[in-house]
Structure 1
Amino acid sequence: MHNSELQDQELLTRVSRNAVFSQDVDVLTHIFNEDINLAGWQRQLSSQIQQYLVYLIGSGFNQLRCITRLNDLVDVLQQELPEHAAKAAFVEDVYQVADMYACLMEAEELGVRLTKLTAAMCPRFHTDKLPCRLITTYAGCGSEWLPDNAVNRDYLGPQGHGKETRLYADQQDKIQQLASGEVALFKGDGWQGHENRGIVHRSPALAPGQSRIILTLDGR
């Protein structure tokens, strides 16, 4: 085995049989593996981006939602986001993340949602019905998810209403959480050949006064 292959294996962390993480951005390509429904790129945000996020949370910004082509995304962000000395660094980062996602998913258009949250947006564990969603928490607590081997999918959806704890009975310690700044691809139930096997996840609970800034991207 070559040294480069050994280094790649050392960088790759398989949290569970269905989820893989790495500090190497190429980990996102693992979402195409049949047995993977979560691929996460572990990264640190620059000080400039963090400065802008502090400003954004304290500003009157609430949400940006649009459907756009990748080439138009920078213009949309420049028009809709509040001005600050570090704005350009944040806009560039969002564009780079969107560019990676669009290339991987061969998406002609992107459904973009950049949101400030002060409460859990999706507090119940669920799966997405689309093929694949990118999610990154720029500020605040990251999304929570469950390994496949800790889930009883019979309690997902309407039939599981009021019985959520049975999803992961006796396995509360298996609840995982993305770190702030990590970029994750969540495979959904709509992925061809992966029906009803999407990653089970939810929004984290927030204490009074806490906020999150999240970005989600859907391909179209």
Structure 2
Amino acid sequence: MSLAETEAHRPLRAKARNVLMGREPDILAEIDAPGVAATIWTRACDQAFQSWIDALPFEQLPELRTIVPVHLAEAAAIAACEQANVPKSPEMDMLTGDVGALAMMLAKSLKVRQVRVRLDVSDEVMCPKFHVDNVPARLLCTYRGKGTEYVPMGHENDQQSVRQVTRGAVALFRGGAWPGEERTGLFHRSPDPEPLSGHRLLLVIDPME
């Protein structure tokens, strides 16, 4: 049973519903502010990188699932690219460097030394229902395809209330295991696939104790 399905059975607690957005990466550290359910770094996607990642055949998109000390996240991404035979280029270095940098930001914001890192490749909807992840927090960044959708709890059936993280932006969502009494009041889900855009490439980073 998902957290979304069991929400009605939980004790009544304060809900965090606010989404903070900013053009600087420091916005991610505001995730522990009262009332904040998510923070989004609204950075622009580099055009050369975007063209490069869109042109990669789907079999060369790197996939990764690992738990590593935060300083090894970039090395893990490099290994995943090598395994997928991603051609060496400045854009590949941008991708692996970004994975390492975002892992460091998450670790600094949440004061952890280890992270779970995933690079998910899919042409289907991985999480079609609005939900809350059973983790303290989760960082999401879409490198290829459409970004993650989110909505306040209780408005899942109101399409006007649904918002979407832009491609290349970095979103940090509180999860169901967020410490303290204040629970998140925000759901998120994977977007519907775009038939013409091919496979989606999503970075997922979770904090580990």
C-alpha displacement of 1:54? 2.4
**Letter in structure 2 aligned against 1:130:** V
> Could you say which residue in structure 1 is the equivalent of 2:33?
33
* Structural mapping, 1:1-220, within 5 Å: 18-61=18-61, 63-81=63-81, 82-85=86-89, 86-147=91-152, 151-152=153-154, 167-169=155-157, 171-194=158-181, 196-210=183-197, 211-220=199-208
Greater fraction strand: 2
C-alpha displacement of 1:52? 3.9
Distance 2:43 2:94 in 1: 15
Evaluate the alpha carbon distance shift between residue 194 and residue 47 of structure 1 in structure 2; reply closer, same or farther with a 3 A threshold.
Answer: farther
C-alpha displacement of 1:195? 5.8
Distance 1:216 1:116 in 2: 11
Percent identity between the two aligned chains? 29
C-alpha displacement of 1:103? 1.0
Evaluate the alpha carbon distance shift between residue 58 and residue 35 of structure 1 in structure 2; reply closer, same or farther with a 3 A threshold.
Answer: same
C-alpha displacement of 1:17? 5.4
Q: RMSD in angstroms over aligned alpha carbons?
A: 2.1
Tell me if the contact between 2:139 and 2:172 (Cα under 8 Å) persists in the aligned partners.
yes
SS at match of 1:37: strand
Distance 1:199 1:217 in 2: 18
In the superposition, the TM-score normalised over structure 1's length comes to: 0.77
SS at match of 1:138: strand
Evaluate the alpha carbon distance shift between residue 62 and residue 71 of structure 1 in structure 2; reply closer, same or farther with a 3 A threshold.
Answer: closer
Distance 2:112 2:57 in 1: 30
Tell me if the contact between 1:57 and 1:213 (Cα under 8 Å) persists in the aligned partners.
no
Tell me if the contact between 1:186 and 1:198 (Cα under 8 Å) persists in the aligned partners.
no
State the aligned residue count.
187
C-alpha displacement of 1:25? 1.6
Q: Structure 2: any 5+ residue segments left out of the alignment?
A: 1-15
Tell me if the contact between 1:102 and 1:110 (Cα under 8 Å) persists in the aligned partners.
yes
Question: 1:41-71, CA deviations, whole angstroms, 9 ceiling, x for partnerless residues?
Answer: 0001223432442244544336211111122
Distance 1:65 1:57 in 2: 20
C-alpha displacement of 1:105? 1.2
Question: 1:12-56, CA deviations, whole angstroms, 9 ceiling, x for partnerless residues?
Answer: xxxx95111111222112211120001000001223432442244
SS at match of 1:218: strand
Q: Structure 1: any 5+ residue segments left out of the alignment?
A: 1-15, 153-166
Tell me if the contact between 1:128 and 1:198 (Cα under 8 Å) persists in the aligned partners.
no
Structure showing greater radius of gyration is 1
**Larger CA deviation: 39-48 vs 56-65:** 56-65
Evaluate the alpha carbon distance shift between residue 194 and residue 118 of structure 1 in structure 2; reply closer, same or farther with a 3 A threshold.
Answer: farther
**Letter in structure 2 aligned against 1:215:** L
**Letter in structure 2 aligned against 1:30:** E
SS at match of 2:36: coil
